[in-house]
């Protein structure tokens, strides 16, 4: 059955424990340029995190449907790879415009399904759109190299697409992270199958519709849904040559192993624990504002959230003011005006964050701001809210330090010197991002030279690189070695062919073959 993705399916009999008499909007698949209703019997409910009301049901895509997606992507690759690069550029130019025009629509879907504030959701769309804008420069980005080796010999390189690629996405950036993947992949001439997070697929469905409107041919971009079985299919299917994954450590390590064992390229961005070092010479107001924003924005559900503060020396004295700033942040549903902190993605996530806060208290940390059970308007009493929380006197043995909390919880540690701060951060297994706040150029330089993290901010709390650079997390925050977007992203989605040609003008008039390695 072909359906528009906004229609409901009144005859649906969901397998999950949901009132079967009630009809819900379902989220379709997008295969071969059509929005199609899955014939599955297994449906996954998506709830609005602000009130836990059901938003949509998404299908566990059936094996036949997954196969259809892979076959259609493989078939589409045959012609898409031959398309003119100017055609692809034109489509991307139109796509970025459509995304810009539909920012509000995408952002509303994000706030409804993911929970983040509407203003933050618009930022999610913007940061993704910037990757599309960068991909519009594909005509320059794909330029190869050429060298006239001698009078009659040339060597040149061509960057060619790989074939069918797959993207497996997390819940926390429902627009930005799919946009890290498919625009660059298809710009390079690949086709793609995207699996958005089963918790918030709506933004990707709108993006698929916009891609279709922009002229992406049928089969070039496909969207499938589901959880582990869908992921297993993407790791195993013979047509799929490369997998882009962003998400948790557990899923990422599994996908990296399974995908690479099957001979595929896999780039996997995993979890994080990002430290901010506060030097006593920093600009106090700027630092405290940035800290509170980066720790509690998006309810701490960003891989680049600054979730750990390391106060150096007397910078510790700023803690009470930090607490005051955190208290001022308004916790509520993401559509409310002036809201700062929305809900967590699920009841399980809320329970986990609350348990980690409690573990900190039990292991000796000081709870200087307790955001558990925040007061929210009555229409959100069933939502998954935790307000800004600050634990001080935290040590590296505590669970609240060792685990990625992924909630609005800031853990604070104290050291005496910058060297101790660097040592502490380098001992943490993660290497996604870090920041230093200081007015000393030499301290900043010393820090950037000696810290082992992929993305470093100097007086910038969330240094996510713009798309002309790449997202360069390192150590336990990444599996695989080719980063997302920018030059690395293009490298990931292409393989290089190197052609050496000899066009000799004179006739060859001897008959003895040369058997030595040509030099």
Alpha-carbon gap, residue 107 to 115, rounded angstroms? 10
Residue nearest to ligand NAD (CB): 247
Angle between helices 85-101 and 202-214 (to 10 degrees): 130
Q: Please identify which of the residues 169, 235, 303, 412 carries the catalytic annotation.
A: 303
Helices then strands, counting H and E runs in the chain, come out as 16, 22
Torsion of CA 137, 142, 143, 148, to 10 degrees: 180
Residues 366, 390 contacting (CB under 8 angstroms): no
Residue from the set 83, 102, 103, 227 that interacts with ligand NAD by CB under 6 A? 227
Considering only 15-23, 93-101, 247-255, 387-395, which stretch makes contact with ligand NAD by CB under 6 A? 247-255
Residue from the set 149, 153, 158, 228 that interacts with ligand NAD by CB under 6 A? 228
Which residue, 319, 329, 290, 326, is CA-closest to 412? Answer: 319
Q: How far is the CB of 180 from ligand NAD (least distance, A)?
A: 8
198 binds ligand NAD (CB under 6 A): yes
Q: Which is nearer to ligand NAD, 95 or 405 (CB)?
A: 405
Alpha-carbon gap, residue 511 to 281, rounded angstroms? 78
49 binds ligand NAD (CB under 6 A): no
Considering only 29-37, 149-157, 263-271, 373-381, which stretch makes contact with ligand NAD by CB under 6 A? 263-271
- Judging by DSSP bridges, how do beta strands 240-246 and 164-168 pair with one another? parallel
- Tokens 């700023």 locate to 318
246 binds ligand NAD (CB under 6 A): yes
Which residue, 3, 2, 22, 4, is CA-closest to 12? Answer: 22
Q: Which is nearer to ligand NAD, 245 or 311 (CB)?
A: 245
Q: Is 303 a catalytic residue?
A: yes
Q: How far is the CB of 156 from ligand NAD (least distance, A)?
A: 34
237 binds ligand NAD (CB under 6 A): no
Residue ranges in 265-414 assigned as alpha helix (H): 284-296, 319-327, 347-362, 399-402
C-alpha R_g of the chain? 25
Residue from the set 231, 243, 411, 451 that interacts with ligand NAD by CB under 6 A? 231
The angle formed by the CA atoms of residues 139, 142 and 145, to the nearest 5 degrees, is 120
Q: Which is nearer to ligand NAD, 405 or 444 (CB)?
A: 405
Q: Which is nearer to ligand NAD, 176 or 436 (CB)?
A: 176
171 binds ligand NAD (CB under 6 A): yes
61 binds ligand NAD (CB under 6 A): no
Alpha-carbon gap, residue 69 to 224, rounded angstroms? 8
297 binds ligand NAD (CB under 6 A): no
**Cβ atoms within 10 Å of 361's Cβ, excluding its own:** 14
Binding-residue pattern over the window 452 to 491 for ligand NAD, x denoting contact by CB under 6 A? -------------------x-x---x--------------
Binding positions for ligand NAD, 264-293, rule CB under 6 A: 269-272
Residue count, binding to ligand NAD (CB under 6 A): 29
CA distances from 229 to 42, 47, 95, 492 (A): 12, 21, 31, 25
Q: How far is CA 128 from the centre of its chain?
A: 9
Alpha-carbon gap, residue 55 to 298, rounded angstroms? 20
120 binds ligand NAD (CB under 6 A): no
Alpha-carbon gap, residue 174 to 124, rounded angstroms? 8
Binding positions for ligand NAD, 313-342, rule CB under 6 A: none
CA distances from 180 to 144, 211, 490 (A): 22, 14, 11
248 binds ligand NAD (CB under 6 A): yes
172 binds ligand NAD (CB under 6 A): yes
251 binds ligand NAD (CB under 6 A): yes
Q: Which is nearer to ligand NAD, 270 or 315 (CB)?
A: 270
295 binds ligand NAD (CB under 6 A): no
Task: Give the residue numbers marked as catalytic.
Answer: 303
Residues forming contacts to ligand NAD in the complex (CB under 6 A) are: 168-173, 195, 197-198, 227-228, 231, 246-248, 250-251, 254, 269-272, 303, 404, 406, 432, 471, 473, 477
């Amino acid at each position: 059955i072909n359906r528009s993705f906004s229609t409901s399916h009144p005859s649906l009999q969901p397998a999950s424990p949901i009132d079967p008499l009630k009809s819900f909007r379902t989220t379709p698949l997008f295969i071969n340029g059509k929005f199609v209703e899955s014939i599955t019997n297994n449906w996954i409910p998506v709830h609005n995190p602000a009130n836990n009301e059901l938003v949509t049901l998404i299908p566990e895509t059936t094996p036949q449907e997954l196969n259809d997606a892979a076959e259609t992507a493989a078939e589409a690759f045959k012609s898409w790879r031959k398309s003119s690069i100017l055609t692809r550029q034109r489509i991307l130019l139109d796509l970025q415009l459509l995304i810009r025009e539909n920012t509000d629509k995408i952002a509303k879907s994000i706030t409804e399904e993911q929970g983040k504030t509407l203003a933050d959701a618009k930022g999610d769309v913007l940061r993704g759109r910037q990757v599309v804008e960068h991909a519009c420069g594909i005509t320059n980005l794909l330029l190869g190299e050429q060298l006239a080796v001698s009078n009659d010999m040339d060597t040149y390189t061509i960057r060619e697409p790989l074939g069918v690629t797959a993207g497996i996405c997390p819940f926390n950036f429902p627009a930005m992270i799919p946009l890290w993947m498919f625009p660059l992949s298809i710009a390079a001439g690949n086709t793609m199958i995207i699996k958005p997070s089963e918790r918030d697929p709506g933004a990707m469905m709108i993006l698929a519709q916009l891609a279709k409107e922009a002229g992406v041919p049928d089969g070039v971009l496909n969207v499938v849904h589901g959880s582990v079985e869908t992921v297993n299919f993407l790791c195993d299917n013979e047509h799929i040559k490369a997998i882009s994954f962003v998400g948790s450590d557990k899923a990422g390590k599994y996908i990296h192993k399974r995908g690479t064992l099957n001979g595929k390229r896999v780039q996997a961005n995993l979890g994080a624990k990002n430290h901010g070092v506060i030097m006593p010479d920093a600009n106090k107001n700027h630092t405290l504002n940035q800290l509170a924003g980066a720790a509690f924005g998006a309810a701490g559900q960003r891989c680049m959230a600054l979730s750990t503060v390391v106060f150096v020396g007397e910078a510790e004295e700023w803690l009470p003011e930090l607490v005051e700033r955190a208290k001022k942040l308004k916790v509520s549903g993401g559509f409310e005006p002036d809201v700062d902190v929305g809900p967590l993605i699920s009841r399980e996530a809320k329970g986990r964050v609350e348990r980690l806060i409690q573990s900190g208290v039990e292991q000796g940390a000081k709870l200087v701001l307790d955001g558990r059970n925040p007061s929210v308007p009555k229409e959100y009493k069933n939502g998954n809210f935790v307000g800004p929380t600050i634990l001080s006197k935290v040590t590296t043995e505590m669970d609240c330090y060792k685990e990625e909390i992924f909630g609005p919880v800031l853990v604070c540690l104290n050291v005496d010197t910058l060297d101790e701060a660097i040592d502490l951060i380098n001992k943490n297994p993660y290497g996604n991002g870090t920041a230093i706040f200081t007015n000393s150029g030499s301290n900043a330089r010393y820090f950037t030279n000696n810290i082992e993290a992929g993305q470093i901010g100097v007086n910038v709390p969330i240094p996510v690189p713009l798309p002309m650079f790449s997202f360069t997390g390192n150590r336990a925050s990444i599996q695989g070695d080719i980063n997302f977007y920018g030059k690395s992203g293009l490298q990931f989605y292409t393989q290089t062919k190197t052609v050496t040609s000899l066009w000799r003008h004179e006739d060859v008039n001897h008959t003895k073959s040369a058997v030595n390695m040509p030099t």
